[in-house]
A and B are shown apart, each in its own frame.
Chain A
């Protein structure tokens, strides 16, 4: 990472498997970088202060609220957003499929963040119990579903991963 004149930084990172190199202002959040610079609009802003999980993405496979991370911190790392989530066959990821099948999607605004959080959770803990899932997703607010179908979608995807 180089600090250029004018206070911008040059960062190199991987985004959904492809190489990206950008000049960015150090005050830019990762969420702004994703939505405005990369044009990946699947990642949402729900609160801007790390409480709701709508902006959750994976950085080197770990769940991160992108509104709380600075974009320059992405240097040398791998970012995965909802647009980069794929199943083994290149089609829908099992979590996307089970979220659709179980009725875990209503207004859909929390859905990308909830799917990314579930992916991180199941990656870290492939044998996650119901209790693990309930505790693991507390950072992803959903105002529509009452959570039941989100939890059952994650449980079902667990069998498919």
Chain B
């Protein structure tokens, strides 16, 4: 076992102090001289033809400054993203309720909001689509191309039709899942500040400052060297601050350039609900076939995501979902077809799990149904089929040594007392009308951007050791609450043998580090961590050599091994500190600032047949949910979730546990409560009163275990932990509801009325 000074320890968060004292400055908190405020004028209907926009009434509001429309966009009016179909501001047609059509700039936020309400849009309503399955029909209204398909992927292996014909048992069902709203506590916010040279500095609440750079440079028609994007302390992201902050920032930037003063744009909660990205609603039909012994022989999936009005990230969300759609099993015959369809609703995008939780709910629910049909224990069926090192995934990728899934499943089985509970018939009726039950799920998650994002999968770091032995680090991946500042500081301290408190990660500034891609896909520890190690490596060599020489000069015995730990170098009893060593390095005029650049290994995936290596490595989870179901009302309460993860080496166990607990609750909240509703293309509940989130009172107990299967390509053999905790929660809860009550619900959220219907023999 490797010995580390800083890696593997629950060191305190770097940003806890400023946050616990209220000193942290989020997007709405910074002061700028001459600051103005913008507010959006939004599309009132699902689809309209814009006839005219008038500010005649808005102009009378005291403090009104100007109206900004598509005419003020300086570059081509297309937000550069995967498909670039989303205009910065619409010209003739707006495609969903809540889309920004224009902006008003005013002296105060109140005046801007009041004036925006008075801007008059004359429009004609156009026929719209609100159902993705309808959108895929031949005679549907066309919103995108000639088929309303933003993206389609196919993964084929073996002969699934034959395998299904030959199977002992086949199960096939339809599933669906509803939206999930990120509900980051800090809404979208940005301030754009014009600079004397005609450029802009943009202070943005974002996961992805380089996406903001792309969008602002395009909308403002500026060279990248004249745009600087600085991330503000970010109050939660979960994918909701991946792409859309770039759109919000481009709006603020166009406003700022027009008025020549700093402009701030802060969304209120309602407009954030109405217009910002969401987890895609999904529909799927899944089939599994198995032989008599429970070996799964085939998996066939049709998977449809409701992309909303513009493509945004739908193609890559869909691809990730498709790649993982058969589940973490070794199956020889596969056919997966996946579509993202256009509708006139809010564009959906990234959300923790990125297209996987929806299809994981479907396939892991169905694996339980397969177990039921085989009269086999659901854990045993999974143990027979799960991926182990050397096995092949649905895309034919051979799983490497860093795969602890079997151990994870054994762990949650043991910790939840699965066998004993099962011995009681897997159904414990203890309190009259309350039934209790257990449900299991397994999941895997490709770490990093994978084959579909391979051109973006690189990251930079600049590590600068000051003369006083403190260390400044610039990276291109962001802190959004997950703990990146802390974990990356630990990696830097470990590599240099510098005291942890000496390390400072700077806020991400696009002018200080090369484009490092987005902070998504559980890739930050892996990518920025490796970039820091690479940047620090030559300085580490110099520091270690110099320390050795200093120790010799102090009379140490050079034949003994030098120990480097906790910021101290020593041979026997003789020691020098990191600070003394760095001082000597500076005296010797050594280079004490270095760039690092890490590029993810190649992936071989073929977009034609969907075969090849899709991701560089995978993280894994196994969950068992312990639930109570009220048989009179159908209300479910999750008592406890047993979860085990393999995310490679854990750099900071306390933070990793925080990621796990947060992901579990977010997954449970989606599974049971969160229910965004649309009627005729209008969002009905864009607020926290009517869109229900889990609170402290709903919190289950968590029982979390990390099984660390080292990944040789990771920084100190780490993988990624951000997303995998959310993915398997919904099916574990659904399977537990079935186990407790006998009701199988195939649509998320697993609302009481659906459970009740299941209990009373009605389909839901």
Q: Which residues of A contact B (CB under 8 A)?
A: 35, 39-49, 51-52, 54, 81-83, 92, 96, 99-101, 103, 105-112, 115, 133-151
Contacts and interface: CB of A to CB of B under 8 A. Distances in A.
B689 A103 contact: no
A143 B185 contact: yes
Nearest to A41: B29
A68 to B, nearest CB: 12
Contacts of B654: 103
13 contacts: A41-B22, A42-B23, A46-B185, A48-B269, A100-B13, A107-B235, A107-B236, A141-B695, A143-B662, A143-B666, A144-B482, A145-B661, A146-B664
Given A54-B185, A105-B20, A110-B185, A138 B695 contact: yes
7 closest residue pairs by CB, A with B: A42-B22, A107-B481, A108-B19, A109-B235, A146-B661, A82-B22, A51-B688
B391 to A, nearest CB: 32
B480 A107 contact: yes
B16 A100 contact: yes
Interface in B212-244: 233-238
Most buried by B among A41, A45, A143: A143
Contacts of B664: 146
Most buried by A among B16, B26, B269, B480: B16
B236 A138 contact: no
A47 to B, nearest CB: 4
B236 A144 contact: yes
A148 B699 contact: yes
B32 interface: no
B56 interface: no
B268 interface: yes
Contacts of B16: 99-100, 105, 108
A52 B182 CA distance: 14
A41 B268 CA distance: 17
Interface in B469-489: 480-483
Contacts, number: 161
Given A44-B186, A106-B662, A141-B185, A96 B20 contact: yes
Contacts of A147: 661, 665, 695-696, 699
Contacts of B665: 145-147
A146 B704 CA distance: 13
A140 to B, nearest CB: 7
A103 B658 contact: yes
Given A44-B26, A45-B28, A134-B699, A109 B186 contact: yes
Contacts of A136: 696
B15 interface: yes
A111 B28 contact: no
B183 interface: yes
Nearest to B23: A42
Given A107-B234, A143-B238, A147-B696, A92 B184 contact: no
B481 A134 contact: no
Nearest to A110: B185
Contacts of A54: 185
B20 A47 contact: no
A110 B183 CA distance: 12
B25 A41 contact: yes
A49 B236 CA distance: 20
Contact of B269 (A49, A144, A151): A49
Most buried by B among A92, A134, A147: A147
Contact of B687 (A49, A99, A140): A49
A146 B701 CA distance: 10
Given A42-B23, A46-B269, A100-B17, A108 B688 contact: no
Given A44-B185, A107-B481, A146-B662, A134 B26 contact: no
Contacts of B24: 108
Contacts of B236: 106-107, 109, 143-144
A66 to B, nearest CB: 13
Contacts of B186: 44, 46, 107, 109
Interface in B169-208: 182-187
Given A41-B29, A46-B185, A107-B235, A144 B481 contact: yes
Nearest to B273: A47
A56 to B, nearest CB: 12
